[in-house]
Amino acid sequence: MSKSLKRVEAALAAAGIAAEIREVGQARTALEAAEAAGCAVDQIVKSIIFRGEESGHVVLFLTAGGNRVSAAKASAVAGQPLGKAEADLIRAETGFAIGGVSPVGHLTPVRAYFDPRLLGFTEVWAAAGTPRHIFRAAPGDLLAVTGAKLADFTE
């Protein structure tokens, strides 16, 4: 079992969330994850990461699979201009590779924002630390464990 997957399992367990983790062939995109989970694409929690231009740290936006993050709205919500986060910065701060960034289990505390659209579902699925693993959880539980703030940042 990968270290990334173990961190996600540990974070969920520590939060008291009984999440189902499923190994799938590949779930690098929201559509692939939805097909693997057997759910609607909007039930997939996409982890979109930007680099804060002032802070130099990653900023995480958790959004419904069918949504697109608006760079302008995201920058306004984050209170700073946002730019592209390079793979090495993402891995250094979250501990995850692109395609497997989980909402939980980061190496360092990450500033996060949560799409209210996700709260319209009884369950959602998110990356579990690898491009081959996803987990199911109640969106309210996920919001609580991530410490994310509800915000409007989608197009």
> Does pLDDT of 155 surpass 80?
yes
For residue 118, the 8-state DSSP code is G
What is the band of 137 on the pLDDT scale with cuts at 50, 70, 90? Answer: very high
What is residue 134's predicted lDDT score, i.e. its pLDDT? 95
> Does pLDDT of 1 surpass 80?
no
What is the Cα–Cα distance from 104 to 85, expressed in whole angstroms? 18
18: CB partners within 8 A, 6+ apart: none
User: Tokens 């081959």 — which residue?
Assistant: 132
Domains of the chain and CATH, by start = 3-150 (3.90.960.10)
Beta strand extents in the chain (DSSP E only): 20-23, 44-52, 58-64, 82-84, 111-114, 124-127, 133-137, 149-150
What is the band of 110 on the pLDDT scale with cuts at 50, 70, 90? Answer: very high
What is residue 99's predicted lDDT score, i.e. its pLDDT? 86
How do strand 133-137 and strand 124-127 relate by DSSP bridges?
Answer: antiparallel
What is the Cα–Cα distance from 9 to 105, expressed in whole angstroms? 8
Question: Per residue in 16-42, pLDDT tens?
Answer: 998 889 999 888 789 989 999 999 999
**30: number of Cβ within 10 Å:** 20
Number of C-alpha atoms within 13 angstroms, CB side, residue 1?
13
Could you tell me the two tokens for 46?
A: 């996409």
Max distance between CA atoms of the chain, in angstroms, equals 40
Mean pLDDT of all residues in the chain? Answer: 95
